[in-house]
């Protein structure tokens, strides 16, 4: 099973691009995550984790999540291999994110997207309480 959940802050604004041909949106960003222990001198080590997310979540991330925002990312670890310009084989590890969730409001973080209030849910088939029939059944099994 390859599953990872990370909580950290974006180090800079996400970068959005589109895959040529399909037009699928892809956003890349880096999370800064402090380790859960302190060094002997009392300092904390920070890891910088590259992430990539595709589709609708990529557009959301690029438009409403900015530098410094605290987010949770759920995805998997991916190792990409390539040949460098010098002819050597190289590998690059990143998180292929499937879901991203902001863990603080834009107003609190003071970053991009301050006017974003989150997705609105508007039910299409609203039934008022007066449309229900009252059931008077004395034969209730409990």
**Domains of the chain, first to last:** 4-131 (2.40.50.140)
Give residue 79's pLDDT. 93
Give the pLDDT score at 116.
39
As a dihedral over the C-alpha atoms of residue 78, residue 33, residue 103, residue 75, rounded to 10 degrees, the angle is 10
DSSP H/E element including 58: helix 56-64
3-state secondary structure of 60: helix
DSSP of 93-116: EEEEEEEEEESS-HHHHT-S-TT-
Residue-level pLDDT at 56? 93
Mean pLDDT by 10 residues, the chain (142 residues): 95 94 94 90 92 94 92 94 91 94 72 43 51 57 52
Residues 6+ apart with CB under 8 A from 35: 44, 45, 46, 47
């Amino acid at each position: 099973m390859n599953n990872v959940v990370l909580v950290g802050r974006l180090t800079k604004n996400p970068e959005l691009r589109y895959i040529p041909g399909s037009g699928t949106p892809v956003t890349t960003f880096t999370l800064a995550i402090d380790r859960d222990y302190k060094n002997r001198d009392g300092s904390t080590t920070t890891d910088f984790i590259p992430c990539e997310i595709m589709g609708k979540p990529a557009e959301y991330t690029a438009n409403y999540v900015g530098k410094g925002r605290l987010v949770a990312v759920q995805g998997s670890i991916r190792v990409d291999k390539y040949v460098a310009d010098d002819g050597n084989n190289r590998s690059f590890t990143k998180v292929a994110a499937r879901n991203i969730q902001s863990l603080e409001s834009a107003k609190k973080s003071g970053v991009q997207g301050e006017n974003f209030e989150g997705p609105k849910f508007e039910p299409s088939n609203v039934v008022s309480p007066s449309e229900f029939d009252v059931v008077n059944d004395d034969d209730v099994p409990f």
